Structure 1
Amino acid sequence: MAGCDDCCAATNASNDRRWRRALWIALGINAGMFAGEMVAGLAANSQALQADALDFFGDAANYAISLGVAGMALVWRARAALVKGATLGLLGLYVLVTTIWAVWSGALPEAEWMGGVGLLALVANGAVALMLYRFRAGDANMRSVWICSRNDAIGNLAVVLAAAGVFGTGTAWPDLIVAGIMAALGISGGVQIVRQARAELGRSRTVTMQQGRQLM
């Protein structure tokens, strides 16, 4: 059956040694960057850095989930992708809320910290995104990993630009605007992942029903 062959092919791809090795490397990089960038974001009073740190945390958790379901049936990988998509969307909402709150505080972030840490994060995420680029067209689980990495690289570049904006304008608005954009990216990415995961769950149920009819 074509549907069964598709499921088996997707399962084999998700259990590829290169895929698992790439996930372990990405997990280590993101976990380390989360800790470092969160400390730097709090020290620099930068919402954009803190938002980026939360992205690193979300990605580290997502990579761990992906490793846990690698090689499992498509239905389980799609369910894991649903969890990851929801997590990414919730993190985006959290960043959006904290950014709106920061508008009222009026504290000025330290541009030098933002720029230096943002550049380091850009290098880290750029390397991860390049490493995972070959897996971008896989199932919802693989695609979710690529979307997270892509969003983080874009977010890092935006943080660097925000640092330049804060330095040039002497206001917190570039930092807050970038944090808002990163929140929107997180919400949008979460919606994309959830949509694809739901479609794959639907296909999996169809294949299961077809197999059940053949056995009758």
Structure 2
Amino acid sequence: MSNCGCQHEARNAMERRVLWVALSLNAAMAVIGAMAGWIAQSAGLLADALDMLSDATAYAIGLAAIGRAVRFKVNAAYASGGVLLLLGVGVLAEVGRRALYGSAPEGAWMIGIACLSLVVNVAVLRLLSPLRDGGVHLRASWIFTRADIVANVGVILSGALVAWLDSRVPDLAIGGLIGLYVIKEALEILREARSTRDDAAAVEPTEADQ
């Protein structure tokens, strides 16, 4: 009875349920945030929306990795980190474009949408917290969401500064910082994936000798 795999199957089912909820919420907020970012001319909101989209991608990859071998999970984490790295670079490029060609961000929009995103991300982080030690792919998803919360708070603060100072500089600054933070998180995911791959490779010869 102890080898029936029931607990393993139950955990897989729980992981799928949590990741589906996280995927749905983040995909919805990515669309809402992107639309609001264009309407409000906010680099910060657009950066935040891209971050949410990267989360949705990570959750989709995490779903595919559930119940699979360590190698597949490592590859899933590599894919997540790669996507996040590209998006971080894209955010920095967009901030640079807006700095060159101008923008007129609206602080009220920034604060409102970022507050909604913050509520969603806190809820998702609480759902993911019990699963973050379940595998490198789930750890990557948890890191993504943690990064989002930091970004949300930053957008709220920059929105308040935009409204107070009537200046686009805080919006450009938070957009750039989110881009850099996203890149940092991407590199962390890639490092963890490489470490997990190396640990698995070290175990395989030992198992083969037994």
Q: TM-score scaled to structure 1, two decimals? A: 0.89
Q: What's 2:65 paired with?
A: 69
Q: Would you say the 8 A contact 1:99–1:176 is kept in 2?
A: yes
Write the letter of the residue equivalent to 1:169.
L
- Of the three residues 82, 92, 98, the one matched with 1:86 is 82
Q: What's 2:190 paired with?
A: 194
Q: Would you say the 8 A contact 1:34–1:57 is kept in 2?
A: yes
- Of the three residues 155, 162, 165, the one matched with 1:166 is 162
Q: Would you say the 8 A contact 1:69–1:76 is kept in 2?
A: yes
Q: Would you say the 8 A contact 1:41–1:49 is kept in 2?
A: yes
**1:115-154 mapped onto 2 (5 Å cutoff):** 115-154=111-150
Gaps of 5+ in 2: 1-7
Q: Deviation at 1:18?
A: 2.2
Q: What's 2:15 paired with?
A: 19
Identity of aligned residues (%): 35
Question: Which string of whole-angstrom CA distances, capped at 9 and with x for unpartnered residues, describes residues 76-119 of structure 1?
Answer: 10111011011111111110111122111221101111111111
Q: Would you say the 8 A contact 1:15–1:70 is kept in 2?
A: no
Write the letter of the residue equivalent to 1:99.
V
Question: Which string of whole-angstrom CA distances, capped at 9 and with x for unpartnered residues, describes residues 54-97 of structure 1?
Answer: 11111111101100010111111011101101111111111011
SS at structure 1 position matched to 2:133: coil
Gaps of 5+ in 1: 1-11
Distance 1:32 1:44 in 2: 18
Distance 1:151 1:91 in 2: 13
Distance 1:179 1:204 in 2: 38
* CA spacing shift, 1:135–1:98, aligned 2, 3 Å: same
Q: Would you say the 8 A contact 1:14–1:142 is kept in 2?
A: no
Distance 2:10 2:205 in 1: 24
Q: Deviation at 1:136?
A: 2.9
Write the letter of the residue equivalent to 2:209.
R
**Number of residue pairs the alignment of both structures matches:** 203
Q: What's 1:9 paired with?
A: none
Distance 1:13 1:52 in 2: 35
* CA spacing shift, 1:14–1:27, aligned 2, 3 Å: farther
Q: Does 2:160 correspond to 1:183?
A: no
Distance 2:38 2:132 in 1: 33
* CA spacing shift, 1:184–1:71, aligned 2, 3 Å: same
Distance 1:88 1:26 in 2: 17
SS at structure 2 position matched to 1:16: helix
Distance 1:211 1:35 in 2: 47
